[in-house]
Amino acid sequence: MTKREIRAVTLSSLRLAAGHIVWDVGAGSGSLTVEAALMVEEDGKVIAIERQDEGLELIRKNSEKFGAKNIEIVSGEAPEVLEGLAAPDRVFIGGSGGNLAGIIEAADERLKPGGCLVINAVTIDTLCNARRELKSRGYRLEISQVQCARANPLGSYHMFEGLNPVHVICGLRGEKSEAEGESHKL
């Protein structure tokens, strides 16, 4: 499950609005799916793509628990299952199963003008691959590293314990590309 601090940054990066169609690729437990569904309201829709049976069941349960009726759950492997889906305004890739380049290519072909694609990366490899794939397609990039710590009891005291850092890569379509002057360099 995406930690709540990371979800907040990811959802902000997606720039969601009422009526948006969102793809959540590698939806996992559906934590981000449900929050996004509430943000796009009844006029919008979140399509949760997940290949693991356990994840699909968690998405169903979380959708019901939080009353998110505008979620379509798709079982299968991306990018293959993306072809027949409604064209998205926003795409979030939370898991790629090793198919990141193919998923970005499929999403890029279907993403509506002015859309954005957001990828959460926990490894340097995913960060570099996502940056390369988005940059080669002319996206303007915004890359943030989110690192949080939570206080945990230690006897009668509390001590902060760091969570793994996550890179949030946002590719904005139709805006000036990174190569044309964006300051986020790796």
**Which CATH number characterizes residue 43's domain?**
3.40.50.150
Give a yes or no: residue 169 inside a domain: no
- Does residue 166 carry a pLDDT above 50? yes
- Structural domain count, the chain: 1
Give a yes or no: residue 60 inside a domain: yes
pLDDT confidence band for 175 (50 / 70 / 90)? low
Give a yes or no: residue 51 inside a domain: yes
Instruction: Give the C-alpha separation, 51 to 74, whole Å.
Output: 8
- Does residue 186 carry a pLDDT above 50? no
Give a yes or no: residue 165 inside a domain: no
Instruction: Give the C-alpha separation, 68 to 50, whole Å.
Output: 17
DSSP structural state of residue 94: S
Average pLDDT (69-78) is 97
Place of tokens 């794939």: 133
Give a yes or no: residue 7 inside a domain: yes
pLDDT confidence band for 184 (50 / 70 / 90)? very low
Give a yes or no: residue 141 inside a domain: no
Give a yes or no: residue 80 inside a domain: yes
Q: Residue 30: which domain range? A: 1-122
Assess contact for 127 and 169: CB atoms under 8 A: yes
- At 177 the pLDDT is 43
Instruction: Give the C-alpha separation, 2 to 10, whole Å.
Output: 10
State the CB neighbour count (10 A cutoff) for residue 165. Answer: 12
Give a yes or no: residue 36 inside a domain: yes
